[in-house]
Structure 1
C-alpha cells in the first residue's frame, strides 16, 4: 500500500536534504579554500627610520629580517633591537589583518552561545585580541648636531 501524498512529501524532503548536503559541501570547500588563502598571507613592515624590514607569515612567525647597510652606523644595539621588535609586531598585525579579511565573510553573523543560551559566556570573549603596539620612546641624543655614535666604533673597547 502506497500513499501518493506520503511519497510526494518524502520525495520533497529528500530533495531538501540533498540540496542542504550539496550546499554544505560547497560551503566546506569554500571555507577550506579561504583557510588556505588566509594561511598564505604574508605581513611586511619597515621601521619608521627605514633601517629594519621584517616579513612574517600568517601565523606571526618571522620569516625574514633585513637591515639597511647603514643600520649599524646610525643606531645603537639597544635602539636597533627595539626597532626590530616593533617592526616584527607591525608585520604580524599586517599578516593577521590580511588573514582576518579573508575569513571574515565566514565568521560574520555566526550565532554565539548567548544567542541560544542566555547568560552563557560569549565564545568571542575567549579569543584574545592582540595588545596595541606601542613604539619605544625615542631617546634624546646628547648633541643633535653630531650623528649618533655607532656601536661599531666602541667594539674594541667593549671586547
Structure 2
C-alpha cells in the first residue's frame, strides 16, 4: 500500500473516531440532562378520604405531608396513620413512574456485555429491580358510625 493510500485510510479512520467521540459526548450530555430532569420529578397523592396529601421526591423521600383541617375530627389515629402510609406509597409510585418515563428512551436498545462480548455475564442481572409498591390493607371499618375523634378522648385517656 502506498503512502498516500495509507494516509487517506488513516484520515478516514480518524474522522470516524472523531464522529464517534462527538456522538458519545452528545449522548452523555443528553443522559446527564435526563437524569437531572428525572431526579427533579415529584409525586403527589391525596388519600381516598381527602384528609391527607403527600409529596414525595424522585428518590422516594417524603417532602411534604398536609392534613385537611377536619382530619383529626373525622378519623382515628390508627386510620389516619394507615391513610398516610397508603398515600405516601401512591405518591412514591407516581414519582417513580415520572422519573422512569424520562429515562426510558435512554434505556432502549442499549447493548449489554453479551451483545458485545459473547460469553460475558449480563449487566442487567446485576441491577436489582426496584421493589414493588405494595399498598397497605384498607383501613378497617368497625361500624357504620362516624369515627370518634381522638381529640374528644383527652379527658378519658390523657
TM-score scaled to structure 1, two decimals? Answer: 0.89
Asked whether the 8 Å contact 2:56–2:62 carries over to 1, the reply is yes
| Distance change in 2, residues 1:16/1:121 (3 Å) | closer
Mark the runs of 5 or more structure 2 residues left unpaired by the alignment.
Answer: none
User: Counterparts of 1:2-151 in structure 2 under 5 Å?
Assistant: 3-115=3-115, 116-118=117-119, 120=121, 123-124=124-125, 126-142=127-143, 144=144, 146-151=145-150
Asked whether the 8 Å contact 2:85–2:136 carries over to 1, the reply is no
Tell me the distance in 1 between the aligned counterparts of 2:138 and 2:94.
22
Tell me the distance in 1 between the aligned counterparts of 2:43 and 2:110.
27
Q: After superposition, give the CA deviation of every residue in 1:63-116 in whole Å (9 maximum; x if it has no partner).
A: 100001111011100110011011111111111111111111111122334544
Q: Bigger CA drift: 47-56 or 106-115?
A: 106-115
Q: Bigger CA drift: 63-72 or 149-158?
A: 149-158
Cα RMSD after superposing both structures? 1.9
Alpha-carbon distance, 1:117 to partner: 4.4
Aligned residue for 1:133, secondary structure, equals coil
Aligned residue for 1:28, secondary structure, equals helix
Asked whether the 8 Å contact 2:76–2:150 carries over to 1, the reply is yes
Tell me the distance in 1 between the aligned counterparts of 2:65 and 2:48.
15
Q: Is residue 2:138 matched to residue 1:157?
A: no
TM-score scaled to structure 2, two decimals? Answer: 0.90
Alpha-carbon distance, 1:138 to partner: 3.0
| Distance change in 2, residues 1:6/1:113 (3 Å) | closer
Q: Bigger CA drift: 133-142 or 71-80?
A: 133-142
Tell me the distance in 2 between the aligned counterparts of 1:36 and 1:122.
23
| Distance change in 2, residues 1:125/1:25 (3 Å) | closer
